[in-house]
Amino acid sequence: DIQMTQSPSFLSATVGDRVTINCKASQNINKYLNWYQQKLGEAPKRLIYNTNSLQTGIPSRFSGSGSGTDYTLTISSLQPEDVATYFCLQHNSGPYTFGAGTKLELK
Amino acid sequence: EVQLVESGGGLVQPGRSLKLSCAASGFTFSNYYMAWVRQAPKKGLEWVATISTSGSRTYYPDSVKGRFTISRDNAKSSLYLQMNSLKSEDTATYYCARRDTFDYWGQGVMVTVSS
């Protein structure tokens, strides 16, 4: 199985900050990498698919990049409503596997 | 608007069975693969099962293979997860998700396996 190592586990940032969250795969996942946001008590929401495609309706301050084994979610200017847990998913090969999550809070 | 609403969760004893349901709306259900994903308390997410559009193909990780069965009723726009021989480690929130790449998710339903 492909292991997804997500970092950091916890992140505290200020409104307006540029925030980056990383996922490293144990092998090449050919850009088949999604990012999700989960707010407390809500269903997970897909933000980015296939590394850098923005899901419809998601603000443009969210972006994704990467290739091979290393991938990044960037929030260009953190907003209060971005407080959530973020996690990645590799869907290159089964079983599809998730990162452990990054809890993002406001400083 | 895509909506997925899970039901059927609860407290069940180890070794017993439980069946989860997911009611879908806002899209043509029969056109999409569907899946179940779970999240154990204070743990990460784990893919549990996927089913093809017709239901003829199903996929499971080793952790549930032989115990869980995913199925669907396209006429009712409904997805199911039959869980047998439940173990304490199956305790989790179970999410219904659209597509094998999980583009939309339901709110989840809690399953607690405990004596």
Kindly provide the residue ranges of all beta strands, DSSP E only, lying in chain A, ordered along the sequence.
4-7, 10-13, 19-25, 33-38, 45-49, 53-54, 62-67, 70-75, 84-90, 97-98, 102-106
Residues 11-70 of A with CB under 8 A from B: 34, 36, 42-46, 49, 55
Run of H or E including B23: strand B18-25
B7, amino acid identity: S
- The values of phi and psi at residue A16, to 5°, are 95, -15
pLDDT in tens, A24-48: 999 999 999 999 999 988 889 999 9
Residues from chain A that touch B108, judged by Cβ atoms under 8 A, are: 43
Task: Report pLDDT for B44.
Answer: 87
* Contact in structure between A64 and A72 (CB atoms under 8 Å): yes
Tell me the nearest-neighbour CA distance from A19 into chain B, angstroms. 22
Pick the residue from chain B with its C-alpha nearest to A88.
B45
Closest CA to A73 of A37, A28, A98: A37
Task: Report pLDDT for A92.
Answer: 96
Tokens of B11: 């407290």
User: Could you count the other beta carbons within 10 Å of the beta carbon of residue B21?
Assistant: 17
What is the pLDDT tens value at each position of chain B, 115 positions in all? 999 999 999 999 999 999 999 999 999 999 999 999 999 988 889 999 999 999 999 999 999 999 999 999 999 999 999 999 999 999 999 999 999 899 999 999 999 999 9
